[in-house]
Amino acid sequence: MYFKHTRILIAALTLVFALLFIGSTHAQKIPLDTVVHTGTLANGFTYYIRNNNEPKNRVFLYLVNKVGSILEDDDQRGLAHFMEHMNFNGTTHFPKNELISYLQKSGVRFGADLNAYTSFDETVYQLPIPADDPVILKNGFQIMRDWAQDATLDSVEIDKERGVVLEEQRLGRGAQERMQRIYFPVIFNQSQYAMRLPIGTVDIIKYSPYSAIRRFHSDWYRPDLQALVVVGDIDLAKTEILIKQLFSDLKKPMNEKFRTQFKVGLAGGNHFLSLTDPEMPQIVMQIIVKHKEELLVTEPDYIASVRRQLFNIMVGQRFADLSQMPNLPFVEAGANIDEFLGGLDAFTFEIALKKDKIDSGFLTAWEAIEKNQTLWIHSLRNGKSQTKLPEQFGVFLQRKR
């Protein structure tokens, strides 16, 4: 097993060194995969099509909306997520609950196959369907078209869905959620993100007028903020024709609102926060080191991304090895470099500590990070050395009161 892992690591490092040689002479943009067929319609709607015959006779459709809770007005907090729900409760071609009923009869399972999610910056709908039935295939694309702009937003259906969303809110409550509402403003540096958690507020979900969600839908569900991703066992030419037929008539709103790119600023200093809650079952410490987002556009960017992946893999392996130690002085720990929010990436270290071994537990886990410090330093595209923790170092200690 050790030999196998060593060979994988050597192969990965060989790739890195080869890419370093390439990237040192040319900072060229990485081209789009030639097997992906893409285009943009006159109304701004974008599509990506890729043929992939595994699994056989299957196609996966994704409607990607550059729309999330960050775009909500003060009287709409939670309505981006609510809007996601409403797209399953009535569209032009599938009134009320006919959409789910139709798909279930076609062999598509709600939740397991058919699904969607709403985050701060995006809302994505996914629909895997059979590709060998022309009627189901065409209707699948019609469903995507309806989701793009043709939700009926019936008043009765809106009222019915309020309880569903409130129950989802209720299930998410607890110690972690209460503490997040306190430390999110700190890690988001008092930005708009701190005030726009996707789950929203109880009062707005309960009492918001129908006009509020309809306004959100008309403002933001528009073709220039949408893309269709099609991957599966399909004919590229026929698929493109169908997309043009169905999506070319999508309309932009008359008074188009500007889609602001919200950012999380770097405050220029360290932040430390200790939180307690009577329901917190253990002591947890998080260290977050924020830095400017590392874009993936050029060959050198790709090299840097490989370094970050290697760092994450090796640190993960170190913690896996540590977990096998007898008398481990902490409960569990992990670390990685990943996307954050608002134009930032972050290194995040999290550890669950034992009450009587806080110092030794932290130091033991942190040593695993330091053993990969060189790779961490050079994983950043700018190549600047970080021999000390940067200024955007935040420690969040969570424990039982």
Residue tagged active-site, from 84, 157, 294, 299: 84
CB 144 within 8 A of CB 222: no
For 65, 192, 262, the CA distances from 116, given in Å and listed in that order, are 11, 23, 23
Q: In what order do the strands lie in the sheet with 393-400?
A: 271-277, 393-400, 283-292, 344-353, 330-339
CB 283 within 8 A of CB 358: yes
- Residues with Cβ within 8 Å of residue 347, at least 6 apart in sequence: 287, 288, 289, 291, 335, 336, 337, 376
Instruction: Outline where DSSP puts E strands in 314-384.
Output: 330-339, 344-353
For 397, counting Cβ atoms within 10 Å of its Cβ (0-12 exposed, 13-18 middle, 19+ buried), the class is middle
Number of other CB atoms surrounding residue 391 within 10 Å: 14
Please report, to the nearest 10 degrees, the dihedral formed by the alpha carbons of residues 185, 191, 197, 203 taken in order: 90
- Letter string b/e over residues 114-152, b meaning 16 or more CB atoms within 10 A of that residue's CB: bebebebbbbbbebbbbbeeeebbebbbbbbbbbbbbbb
Q: Is 177 a catalytic residue?
A: no
| Euclidean distance between CA atoms 45 and 243, whole angstroms | 10
Number of other CB atoms surrounding residue 303 within 10 Å: 22
Question: Which pair of tokens denotes residue 69?
Answer: 């809770």
| Euclidean distance between CA atoms 119 and 197, whole angstroms | 8
CB 103 within 8 A of CB 182: no
Q: Which residues are catalytic?
A: 84
